[in-house]
């Protein structure tokens, strides 16, 4: 599936719609450059899950957990991870193989521990189409 958005609100809305359809054990990998809209998408997704508290990039913690929605949400931002062993320390397996939903920003940094069944969301800019344009490609798990 490919969606084009022309404003932050549209990307938020796409996240929200996907959050409404999220299922237990779902893992979404969000790739795209800094400022692409991964966190904005995550914020919409959280809203779709029924989470009202503010969702931001988990800057110093790598993982932020939200329990107030329809399903537990595990929001990872592994941008600053040094080594995958840090994921063990966090206890990522309980999140990846549990009943909640994982959102992972910068998934390529932990490629070796990603399960096979993931949904990939790729957000790309195209400055020729304007600064607020994003092409969002969603490849659901097979
Ligand atoms: P990331 O987490 O990928 O680094 P953020 O979600 O934190 O990115 O930031 C995305 C920035 O791009 C926000 O400032 C947002 O307002 C801006 N923006 C502009 N147009 C869009 C769009 N169509 N979709 C998403 N973000 C957009
Ligand atoms: Mg971010």
Q: Convert the pLDDT of each residue in 8-27 to its tens digit.
A: 999 999 999 999 999 999 99
- pLDDT tens track for 25-83: 999 999 999 999 999 999 999 999 999 988 887 667 899 999 999 999 999 999 989 89
Residues with CB under 6 A from ligand 1: 5, 7-8, 10-11, 32, 34-40, 57, 132, 134
Task: Please report, for the domain that includes residue 52, its CATH number.
Answer: 3.40.50.300
- Look at residue 60 in the predicted model and tell me its pLDDT: 73
* Range(s) of the domain holding residue 107: 2-140
- pLDDT tens track for 92-105: 999 999 999 999 99
Alpha carbon nearest to ligand 1 atom 24, residue = 8
Alpha carbon nearest to ligand 1 atom 19, residue = 132
Domain count, the chain: 1
Mean pLDDT of 129-141: 95
CA of 77 to the centre of ligand 2 (A): 7
- Look at residue 125 in the predicted model and tell me its pLDDT: 98
Query: Which of 15, 7, 11 is CA-nearest to residue 119?
Result: 15
Strand pairing class (2-5; 134-139): antiparallel
Query: Which of 111, 99, 47 is CA-nearest to residue 74?
Result: 99
- Look at residue 58 in the predicted model and tell me its pLDDT: 64
What the block records as the tokens of 85 is 């062993």
């Amino acid at each position: 599936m490919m969606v084009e958005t022309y404003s932050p609100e549209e990307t938020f809305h796409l996240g929200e719609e996907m959050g409404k359809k999220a299922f237990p054990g779902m893992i979404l990998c969000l790739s795209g450059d800094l400022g692409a809209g991964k966190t904005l998408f995550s914020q919409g997704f959280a809203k779709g899950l029924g989470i009202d508290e503010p969702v931001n990039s988990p800057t110093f913690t790598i993982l932020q957990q939200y329990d107030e929605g329809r399903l537990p949400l595990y929001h990872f931002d592994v941008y600053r991870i040094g080594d995958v062993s840090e994921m063990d320390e966090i206890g990522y397996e309980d999140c990846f193989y549990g009943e909640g939903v994982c959102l992972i920003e910068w998934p390529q940094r932990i490629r070796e521990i990603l399960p096979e069944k993931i949904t990939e969301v790729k957000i790309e800019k195209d400055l020729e189409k304007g600064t607020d344009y994003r092409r969002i490609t969603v490849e659901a798990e097979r």
